[in-house]
Chains A and B, each alone.
Chain A
Amino acid sequence: MSRERFSRQSFLGRDSEERIARCTVGVAGLGGGGSHIIQQLAHIGFQRYVVYDGDVVEESNLNRLVGARSVDVPAQTPKLHIARMMIYGLQPNASVRGCAGRWQDNPEPLRECQIVFGCVDSYQGRHELEVACRRYLMHYIDIGMDVHGGAPPVIGGQVILSSAGSLCMRCMGFLTEAKLAEEAARYGGAGARPQVVWPNGVLASTAVGLAVDIVTNWTRRALPYAYLVYDGNQGTVKESATLRNLKITACPHFSNSDVGDPVLLEL
Protein backbone atom coordinates (compact mmCIF):
# COMPACT_ATOMS: atom_id res chain seq x y z
CA MET A 1 0.00 0.00 0.00
CA SER A 2 1.37 3.39 -0.98
CA ARG A 3 2.43 5.50 1.98
CA GLU A 4 1.07 8.50 0.11
CA ARG A 5 -2.41 7.08 0.28
CA PHE A 6 -2.68 7.52 4.04
CA SER A 7 -0.38 10.51 4.41
CA ARG A 8 -3.25 12.77 5.46
CA GLN A 9 -4.20 10.47 8.34
CA SER A 10 -0.70 9.80 9.63
CA PHE A 11 -1.64 11.62 12.87
CA LEU A 12 -3.50 8.42 13.80
CA GLY A 13 -0.19 6.88 14.76
CA ARG A 14 2.95 5.36 13.32
CA ASP A 15 1.52 1.86 12.98
CA SER A 16 -2.11 2.88 12.49
CA GLU A 17 -2.31 1.46 8.97
CA GLU A 18 -1.30 -2.00 10.19
CA ARG A 19 -3.62 -1.83 13.17
CA ILE A 20 -6.54 -0.84 10.97
CA ALA A 21 -5.74 -3.49 8.39
CA ARG A 22 -5.58 -6.26 11.01
CA CYS A 23 -8.98 -5.48 12.52
CA THR A 24 -12.01 -7.42 11.31
CA VAL A 25 -15.15 -5.29 11.23
CA GLY A 26 -18.73 -6.47 10.97
CA VAL A 27 -21.65 -4.46 9.66
CA ALA A 28 -25.19 -5.75 10.21
CA GLY A 29 -27.50 -3.89 7.85
CA LEU A 30 -26.25 -2.20 4.69
CA GLY A 31 -28.99 0.39 4.27
CA GLY A 32 -28.85 4.11 4.91
CA GLY A 33 -26.48 3.91 7.88
CA GLY A 34 -24.52 0.80 6.96
CA SER A 35 -23.67 2.00 3.44
CA HIS A 36 -22.12 5.18 4.87
CA ILE A 37 -20.13 3.14 7.37
CA ILE A 38 -18.84 0.79 4.68
CA GLN A 39 -17.72 3.69 2.53
CA GLN A 40 -15.81 5.33 5.36
CA LEU A 41 -14.21 2.11 6.62
CA ALA A 42 -12.94 1.41 3.10
CA HIS A 43 -11.53 4.91 2.73
CA ILE A 44 -9.73 4.64 6.06
CA GLY A 45 -8.10 1.37 5.10
CA PHE A 46 -9.98 -1.44 6.82
CA GLN A 47 -9.27 -4.68 4.95
CA ARG A 48 -11.36 -7.36 6.64
CA TYR A 49 -15.14 -7.24 6.54
CA VAL A 50 -18.09 -9.39 7.52
CA VAL A 51 -21.29 -7.82 6.18
CA TYR A 52 -24.94 -8.82 6.35
CA ASP A 53 -27.97 -7.76 4.36
CA GLY A 54 -30.50 -9.81 2.45
CA ASP A 55 -32.30 -6.96 0.70
CA VAL A 56 -32.08 -5.61 -2.83
CA VAL A 57 -32.07 -1.95 -3.77
CA GLU A 58 -35.57 -0.49 -3.96
CA GLU A 59 -36.81 2.85 -5.24
CA SER A 60 -37.31 4.12 -1.69
CA ASN A 61 -33.63 3.45 -0.86
CA LEU A 62 -32.23 5.85 -3.43
CA ASN A 63 -32.67 8.90 -1.18
CA ARG A 64 -29.92 7.65 1.12
CA LEU A 65 -28.19 4.43 0.10
CA VAL A 66 -24.59 5.43 -0.56
CA GLY A 67 -23.27 3.79 -3.71
CA ALA A 68 -26.67 2.86 -5.13
CA ARG A 69 -27.66 4.13 -8.59
CA SER A 70 -31.00 4.39 -10.33
CA VAL A 71 -30.24 1.34 -12.47
CA ASP A 72 -29.91 -0.77 -9.33
CA VAL A 73 -33.66 -0.60 -8.77
CA PRO A 74 -34.82 -2.41 -11.93
CA ALA A 75 -31.74 -4.62 -11.69
CA GLN A 76 -32.72 -5.56 -8.15
CA THR A 77 -29.09 -5.26 -7.14
CA PRO A 78 -28.42 -6.79 -3.72
CA LYS A 79 -27.25 -4.28 -1.13
CA LEU A 80 -24.41 -6.71 -0.46
CA HIS A 81 -23.21 -6.11 -4.02
CA ILE A 82 -23.29 -2.33 -3.51
CA ALA A 83 -21.19 -2.75 -0.36
CA ARG A 84 -18.73 -5.08 -2.07
CA MET A 85 -18.27 -2.69 -4.97
CA MET A 86 -17.69 0.17 -2.57
CA ILE A 87 -15.05 -1.75 -0.63
CA TYR A 88 -13.26 -3.30 -3.60
CA GLY A 89 -13.27 0.03 -5.43
CA LEU A 90 -11.19 1.50 -2.62
CA GLN A 91 -9.45 -1.59 -1.24
CA PRO A 92 -8.95 -4.12 -4.04
CA ASN A 93 -7.20 -6.58 -1.74
CA ALA A 94 -9.82 -6.48 0.99
CA SER A 95 -11.41 -9.65 2.33
CA VAL A 96 -15.19 -9.30 2.29
CA ARG A 97 -17.35 -12.01 3.76
CA GLY A 98 -20.86 -11.18 2.57
CA CYS A 99 -23.91 -12.90 3.99
CA ALA A 100 -27.22 -12.42 2.16
CA GLY A 101 -29.59 -12.47 5.06
CA ARG A 102 -29.94 -11.77 8.73
CA TRP A 103 -26.87 -12.25 10.87
CA GLN A 104 -28.97 -14.38 13.24
CA ASP A 105 -29.35 -16.97 10.48
CA ASN A 106 -25.58 -17.24 9.99
CA PRO A 107 -23.93 -15.91 13.14
CA GLU A 108 -20.58 -17.71 12.95
CA PRO A 109 -18.81 -15.29 10.57
CA LEU A 110 -19.79 -12.33 12.73
CA ARG A 111 -17.97 -13.85 15.72
CA GLU A 112 -14.64 -13.43 13.98
CA CYS A 113 -14.96 -9.64 14.22
CA GLN A 114 -13.36 -7.38 16.75
CA ILE A 115 -15.78 -4.50 16.09
CA VAL A 116 -19.41 -4.79 15.00
CA PHE A 117 -21.57 -1.95 13.72
CA GLY A 118 -25.29 -2.41 14.25
CA CYS A 119 -27.41 -0.63 11.67
CA VAL A 120 -30.71 -2.27 12.42
CA ASP A 121 -34.16 -0.80 12.88
CA SER A 122 -35.58 -2.56 15.91
CA TYR A 123 -34.75 -2.47 19.59
CA GLN A 124 -34.94 -6.26 19.69
CA GLY A 125 -32.44 -6.42 16.83
CA ARG A 126 -30.08 -4.15 18.75
CA HIS A 127 -30.50 -6.22 21.89
CA GLU A 128 -29.69 -9.45 20.06
CA LEU A 129 -26.60 -7.94 18.45
CA GLU A 130 -25.35 -6.64 21.76
CA VAL A 131 -25.84 -10.04 23.39
CA ALA A 132 -23.84 -11.70 20.61
CA CYS A 133 -21.08 -9.11 20.89
CA ARG A 134 -20.79 -9.62 24.64
CA ARG A 135 -20.75 -13.40 24.31
CA TYR A 136 -18.09 -13.45 21.59
CA LEU A 137 -16.07 -10.44 22.82
CA MET A 138 -16.58 -7.75 20.20
CA HIS A 139 -16.97 -4.02 20.56
CA TYR A 140 -20.55 -3.13 19.55
CA ILE A 141 -21.30 0.26 18.00
CA ASP A 142 -24.97 0.96 17.44
CA ILE A 143 -26.41 3.69 15.28
CA GLY A 144 -30.01 4.67 14.68
CA MET A 145 -32.16 7.62 13.75
CA ASP A 146 -35.81 8.47 13.90
CA VAL A 147 -38.15 11.35 13.07
CA HIS A 148 -40.86 12.25 15.57
CA GLY A 149 -43.73 14.68 15.81
CA GLY A 150 -45.11 17.07 13.26
CA ALA A 151 -44.70 20.80 13.31
CA PRO A 152 -41.79 20.91 12.85
CA PRO A 153 -40.67 17.24 12.82
CA VAL A 154 -37.87 16.38 15.20
CA ILE A 155 -34.91 14.36 13.94
CA GLY A 156 -33.11 12.38 16.61
CA GLY A 157 -30.55 9.66 16.68
CA GLN A 158 -27.91 7.90 18.73
CA VAL A 159 -24.48 6.35 18.52
CA ILE A 160 -23.70 3.92 21.32
CA LEU A 161 -20.54 2.02 22.13
CA SER A 162 -21.06 -1.09 24.24
CA SER A 163 -17.92 -3.05 25.09
CA ALA A 164 -17.47 -6.27 27.02
CA GLY A 165 -16.66 -5.61 30.65
CA SER A 166 -18.29 -2.19 30.64
CA LEU A 167 -21.73 -0.61 30.64
CA CYS A 168 -24.31 -1.94 28.19
CA MET A 169 -27.22 -0.31 26.39
CA ARG A 170 -29.54 -1.14 29.28
CA CYS A 171 -27.13 0.41 31.78
CA MET A 172 -27.02 3.55 29.64
CA GLY A 173 -30.79 3.76 29.60
CA PHE A 174 -31.18 3.24 25.88
CA LEU A 175 -32.67 -0.24 25.91
CA THR A 176 -35.57 -0.66 28.31
CA GLU A 177 -38.13 -3.35 28.94
CA ALA A 178 -40.83 -0.82 28.04
CA LYS A 179 -39.30 -0.14 24.61
CA LEU A 180 -38.86 -3.84 23.90
CA ALA A 181 -42.38 -4.65 25.08
CA GLU A 182 -43.91 -1.86 23.04
CA GLU A 183 -42.08 -3.07 19.97
CA ALA A 184 -43.07 -6.67 20.62
CA ALA A 185 -46.69 -5.54 20.84
CA ARG A 186 -46.27 -4.32 17.29
CA TYR A 187 -45.08 -7.85 16.38
CA GLY A 188 -41.44 -6.78 16.47
CA GLY A 189 -41.71 -4.52 13.47
CA ALA A 190 -40.08 -1.12 13.60
CA GLY A 191 -42.28 0.01 10.72
CA ALA A 192 -41.27 2.10 7.71
CA ARG A 193 -39.53 4.85 9.64
CA PRO A 194 -38.57 8.11 7.96
CA GLN A 195 -34.93 8.03 6.88
CA VAL A 196 -32.81 10.68 5.22
CA VAL A 197 -29.24 10.73 4.10
CA TRP A 198 -27.67 13.48 6.17
CA PRO A 199 -28.50 12.24 9.69
CA ASN A 200 -27.34 8.80 8.60
CA GLY A 201 -24.11 10.42 7.49
CA VAL A 202 -23.59 12.20 10.80
CA LEU A 203 -24.31 9.08 12.81
CA ALA A 204 -22.17 6.83 10.61
CA SER A 205 -19.27 9.28 10.74
CA THR A 206 -19.51 9.48 14.51
CA ALA A 207 -19.59 5.68 14.76
CA VAL A 208 -16.59 5.26 12.47
CA GLY A 209 -14.76 7.92 14.49
CA LEU A 210 -15.28 5.85 17.63
CA ALA A 211 -14.01 2.73 15.86
CA VAL A 212 -10.87 4.45 14.57
CA ASP A 213 -10.17 5.78 18.06
CA ILE A 214 -10.61 2.29 19.51
CA VAL A 215 -8.20 0.77 17.00
CA THR A 216 -5.52 3.46 16.92
CA ASN A 217 -6.04 5.09 20.33
CA TRP A 218 -5.11 8.39 18.70
CA THR A 219 -7.02 10.46 21.28
CA ARG A 220 -5.33 8.59 24.18
CA ARG A 221 -8.60 8.88 26.12
CA ALA A 222 -10.26 6.04 27.96
CA LEU A 223 -13.42 4.96 26.18
CA PRO A 224 -15.14 2.14 28.05
CA TYR A 225 -18.55 3.12 26.66
CA ALA A 226 -20.28 5.95 24.82
CA TYR A 227 -23.80 7.21 24.31
CA LEU A 228 -23.94 10.15 21.93
CA VAL A 229 -27.23 11.79 21.05
CA TYR A 230 -27.87 13.49 17.73
CA ASP A 231 -30.25 16.43 17.51
CA GLY A 232 -30.97 16.78 13.82
CA ASN A 233 -32.88 20.04 14.22
CA GLN A 234 -30.04 21.73 16.08
CA GLY A 235 -27.34 19.90 14.18
CA THR A 236 -25.55 18.76 17.34
CA VAL A 237 -24.06 15.55 18.71
CA LYS A 238 -23.71 15.53 22.50
CA GLU A 239 -23.09 13.00 25.22
CA SER A 240 -26.40 11.70 26.51
CA ALA A 241 -27.61 13.41 29.66
CA THR A 242 -28.43 9.92 30.94
CA LEU A 243 -24.72 9.18 31.35
CA ARG A 244 -24.21 12.16 33.63
CA ASN A 245 -26.78 10.80 36.05
CA LEU A 246 -25.71 7.17 35.99
CA LYS A 247 -25.43 5.64 39.44
CA ILE A 248 -23.69 2.44 38.33
CA THR A 249 -20.11 1.82 37.27
CA ALA A 250 -20.33 -1.90 36.50
CA CYS A 251 -22.81 -3.67 34.24
CA PRO A 252 -25.25 -5.88 36.14
CA HIS A 253 -26.80 -7.26 32.95
CA PHE A 254 -23.86 -9.17 31.46
CA SER A 255 -21.46 -11.40 33.35
CA ASN A 256 -17.85 -11.55 32.18
CA SER A 257 -18.06 -15.33 32.32
CA ASP A 258 -21.04 -15.60 29.96
CA VAL A 259 -18.87 -16.10 26.90
CA GLY A 260 -18.66 -18.69 24.16
CA ASP A 261 -21.21 -21.12 22.86
CA PRO A 262 -24.07 -21.58 25.31
CA VAL A 263 -23.86 -24.79 27.29
CA LEU A 264 -26.88 -26.64 28.62
CA LEU A 265 -26.28 -27.28 32.29
CA GLU A 266 -27.41 -30.57 33.73
CA LEU A 267 -29.51 -30.01 36.84
Chain B
Amino acid sequence: MSISIKLTGGLHREMVTDLARPHPFAAERAGFAFGRVGSLSNESKVILLCLYHSIPDNQYVDDPTVGARIGSEAITWAMQAVYYGRPGREGIFHVHMHPHGGRTGMSGVDRRELPRLMPGFQAVGRDAAHGIIILSLDHGAGWVWLPGSKEPVAASTVSVIGKPLRVFEKGVGR
Protein backbone atom coordinates (compact mmCIF):
# COMPACT_ATOMS: atom_id res chain seq x y z
CA MET B 1 0.00 0.00 0.00
CA SER B 2 1.38 3.38 -0.95
CA ILE B 3 0.10 6.93 -1.04
CA SER B 4 0.73 9.58 -3.62
CA ILE B 5 -0.38 13.20 -3.80
CA LYS B 6 -1.48 15.13 -6.88
CA LEU B 7 -2.31 18.78 -7.42
CA THR B 8 -2.67 20.99 -10.45
CA GLY B 9 0.04 23.37 -11.57
CA GLY B 10 -2.31 26.27 -10.85
CA LEU B 11 -2.88 25.18 -7.26
CA HIS B 12 0.86 24.62 -6.73
CA ARG B 13 1.57 28.10 -8.07
CA GLU B 14 -1.07 29.57 -5.76
CA MET B 15 0.49 27.85 -2.73
CA VAL B 16 4.07 28.80 -3.55
CA THR B 17 3.13 32.40 -4.29
CA ASP B 18 1.29 32.72 -1.00
CA LEU B 19 3.86 30.93 1.12
CA ALA B 20 6.74 32.94 -0.31
CA ARG B 21 5.23 36.26 0.78
CA PRO B 22 6.99 37.89 3.70
CA HIS B 23 5.00 38.09 6.92
CA PRO B 24 5.12 41.13 9.22
CA PHE B 25 6.79 39.11 12.00
CA ALA B 26 6.76 35.38 11.27
CA ALA B 27 9.77 33.91 9.47
CA GLU B 28 7.62 31.74 7.25
CA ARG B 29 4.01 31.23 6.29
CA ALA B 30 1.61 28.32 6.46
CA GLY B 31 -1.62 27.49 4.71
CA PHE B 32 -4.25 24.81 4.42
CA ALA B 33 -4.98 22.70 1.36
CA PHE B 34 -8.02 20.53 0.93
CA GLY B 35 -8.06 17.17 -0.77
CA ARG B 36 -10.00 14.02 -1.38
CA VAL B 37 -8.97 10.40 -1.61
CA GLY B 38 -8.84 8.36 -4.80
CA SER B 39 -8.45 4.60 -4.88
CA LEU B 40 -5.57 2.97 -6.71
CA SER B 41 -4.59 -0.67 -7.20
CA ASN B 42 -3.48 -2.83 -4.26
CA GLU B 43 -5.30 -0.63 -1.77
CA SER B 44 -2.98 2.25 -2.55
CA LYS B 45 -4.42 5.74 -2.42
CA VAL B 46 -3.94 9.05 -4.13
CA ILE B 47 -4.71 12.35 -2.42
CA LEU B 48 -6.10 14.86 -4.91
CA LEU B 49 -5.74 18.42 -3.67
CA CYS B 50 -8.35 20.83 -4.91
CA LEU B 51 -8.27 24.06 -2.90
CA TYR B 52 -5.85 26.23 -0.92
CA HIS B 53 -6.57 28.60 1.95
CA SER B 54 -4.15 31.33 2.85
CA ILE B 55 -3.93 32.11 6.56
CA PRO B 56 -4.44 35.82 7.22
CA ASP B 57 -1.52 37.74 8.76
CA ASN B 58 -3.38 38.46 11.98
CA GLN B 59 -3.97 34.76 12.68
CA TYR B 60 -0.26 34.14 13.36
CA VAL B 61 1.20 34.19 16.87
CA ASP B 62 4.45 36.04 17.40
CA ASP B 63 6.75 33.25 18.56
CA PRO B 64 10.43 33.74 17.67
CA THR B 65 11.26 30.16 18.74
CA VAL B 66 9.63 28.73 15.61
CA GLY B 67 9.41 29.78 11.95
CA ALA B 68 5.68 30.33 12.16
CA ARG B 69 3.01 29.61 14.69
CA ILE B 70 -0.63 29.93 13.79
CA GLY B 71 -3.13 30.93 16.40
CA SER B 72 -6.37 29.49 17.67
CA GLU B 73 -8.44 31.47 15.18
CA ALA B 74 -6.72 29.74 12.25
CA ILE B 75 -7.06 26.34 13.91
CA THR B 76 -10.73 26.97 14.58
CA TRP B 77 -11.23 27.97 10.97
CA ALA B 78 -9.52 24.75 9.86
CA MET B 79 -11.68 22.61 12.14
CA GLN B 80 -14.81 24.27 10.80
CA ALA B 81 -13.62 23.69 7.25
CA VAL B 82 -13.11 20.00 8.01
CA TYR B 83 -16.59 19.88 9.51
CA TYR B 84 -18.19 21.43 6.44
CA GLY B 85 -16.13 19.15 4.20
CA ARG B 86 -17.44 16.00 5.87
CA PRO B 87 -20.19 15.21 3.34
CA GLY B 88 -17.59 15.11 0.56
CA ARG B 89 -14.96 13.43 2.75
CA GLU B 90 -12.69 16.36 2.16
CA GLY B 91 -9.57 16.34 4.28
CA ILE B 92 -7.24 19.15 5.29
CA PHE B 93 -3.48 19.41 4.82
CA HIS B 94 -1.20 21.80 6.65
CA VAL B 95 1.14 23.29 4.06
CA HIS B 96 4.33 25.28 4.48
CA MET B 97 7.48 25.89 2.50
CA HIS B 98 11.15 25.56 3.32
CA PRO B 99 13.04 28.23 1.41
CA HIS B 100 15.70 26.06 -0.20
CA GLY B 101 16.03 23.98 -3.32
CA GLY B 102 16.02 20.20 -3.52
CA ARG B 103 14.54 17.54 -1.28
CA THR B 104 12.75 18.63 1.83
CA GLY B 105 11.24 17.08 4.91
CA MET B 106 9.94 17.79 8.36
CA SER B 107 12.28 19.71 10.64
CA GLY B 108 12.51 18.84 14.31
CA VAL B 109 9.96 21.52 15.12
CA ASP B 110 7.69 20.27 12.35
CA ARG B 111 7.88 16.71 13.69
CA ARG B 112 7.11 17.92 17.18
CA GLU B 113 4.33 20.38 16.40
CA LEU B 114 2.45 19.48 13.23
CA PRO B 115 1.34 15.89 13.92
CA ARG B 116 -0.41 17.21 17.02
CA LEU B 117 -2.98 18.85 14.74
CA MET B 118 -4.09 15.56 13.22
CA PRO B 119 -6.15 13.96 16.01
CA GLY B 120 -8.36 17.05 16.07
CA PHE B 121 -8.85 16.97 12.32
CA GLN B 122 -9.55 13.24 12.46
CA ALA B 123 -12.05 13.67 15.27
CA VAL B 124 -14.10 16.09 13.19
CA GLY B 125 -13.55 14.58 9.74
CA ARG B 126 -13.14 10.92 10.55
CA ASP B 127 -13.87 9.64 7.03
CA ALA B 128 -11.34 11.91 5.35
CA ALA B 129 -7.57 11.79 4.98
CA HIS B 130 -5.59 14.64 6.53
CA GLY B 131 -1.94 15.46 6.54
CA ILE B 132 1.08 17.66 6.13
CA ILE B 133 2.70 18.93 2.96
CA ILE B 134 6.07 20.62 2.89
CA LEU B 135 7.32 22.29 -0.25
CA SER B 136 10.78 23.46 -1.14
CA LEU B 137 11.55 25.81 -3.99
CA ASP B 138 11.63 22.89 -6.44
CA HIS B 139 10.51 19.79 -4.56
CA GLY B 140 7.86 18.60 -2.16
CA ALA B 141 6.94 15.94 0.35
CA GLY B 142 3.81 14.84 2.13
CA TRP B 143 2.57 12.76 5.07
CA VAL B 144 -0.96 11.41 5.11
CA TRP B 145 -3.10 10.19 7.99
CA LEU B 146 -5.71 7.92 6.44
CA PRO B 147 -9.12 7.58 8.11
CA GLY B 148 -8.74 5.78 11.41
CA SER B 149 -4.96 5.70 11.28
CA LYS B 150 -2.85 7.05 14.12
CA GLU B 151 0.36 6.96 12.10
CA PRO B 152 1.14 8.83 8.89
CA VAL B 153 2.25 7.33 5.62
CA ALA B 154 4.91 9.29 3.75
CA ALA B 155 3.76 10.00 0.20
CA SER B 156 5.83 8.14 -2.40
CA THR B 157 5.32 10.97 -4.88
CA VAL B 158 3.92 14.47 -5.04
CA SER B 159 2.90 15.22 -8.64
CA VAL B 160 2.26 18.71 -9.91
CA ILE B 161 0.03 18.28 -12.94
CA GLY B 162 0.87 21.42 -14.83
CA LYS B 163 3.45 22.63 -17.31
CA PRO B 164 6.11 21.72 -16.57
CA LEU B 165 4.83 18.53 -15.06
CA ARG B 166 6.74 17.75 -11.88
CA VAL B 167 6.97 14.45 -10.04
CA PHE B 168 8.68 14.80 -6.66
CA GLU B 169 9.72 11.38 -5.44
CA LYS B 170 10.34 10.50 -1.83
CA GLY B 171 14.08 10.27 -1.28
CA VAL B 172 14.95 11.32 -4.81
CA GLY B 173 16.35 14.70 -5.72
CA ARG B 174 19.14 17.00 -4.75
Contact = CB atoms under 8 A, between A and B. Distances in A.
Nearest to B4: A112
Given A23-B167, A138-B161, A165-B8, A111 B46 contact: yes
A63 to B, nearest CB: 34
B37 interface: yes
Contacts of A115: 165
A256 to B, nearest CB: 5
B36 interface: yes
Interface in B133-174: 159, 161-167, 169, 172
Interface stretch (A51-59, A86-94, A257-265): A257-265
A261 B38 contact: yes
A260 B38 contact: yes
A108 B36 CA distance: 15
A137 B12 CA distance: 13
Given A216-B164, A223-B163, A257 B46 contact: no
Contacts of B89: 260, 263
B22 interface: no
A260 B36 contact: yes
Contacts of A223: 163
Interface in B9-43: 9-11, 35-41
- For the residues of B in contact with A, the DSSP-based class is strand
Contacts of B165: 19, 23, 114-115, 139, 214-215
Contact of B6 (A136, A217, A261): A136
Nearest to B164: A217
A114 B163 contact: no
Contact of A114 (B39, B88, B159): B159
The size bracket of the interface on A is 20 to 34
A136 B10 contact: no
B40 A111 contact: yes
Interface in B62-107: 87-90
A244 B62 CA distance: 52
B48 interface: yes
A266 B4 CA distance: 28
Contacts of A164: 8, 161
A215 B165 CA distance: 5
Contacts of B163: 163, 213-214, 217, 222-224
Given A109-B41, A165-B10, A261-B39, 5 more contacts: A112-B41, A112-B46, A114-B6, A139-B165, A163-B8
Interface of A: 19, 22-24, 108-109, 111-112, 114-115, 135-139, 163-165, 213-217, 222-224, 256-257, 259-261, 263, 265-266
Interface of B: 4, 6-11, 35-41, 44, 46, 48-51, 87-90, 159, 161-167, 169, 172
Q: Which 6 A-B pairs have the closest CB atoms?
A: A260-B36, A217-B164, A259-B48, A137-B6, A22-B167, A108-B41
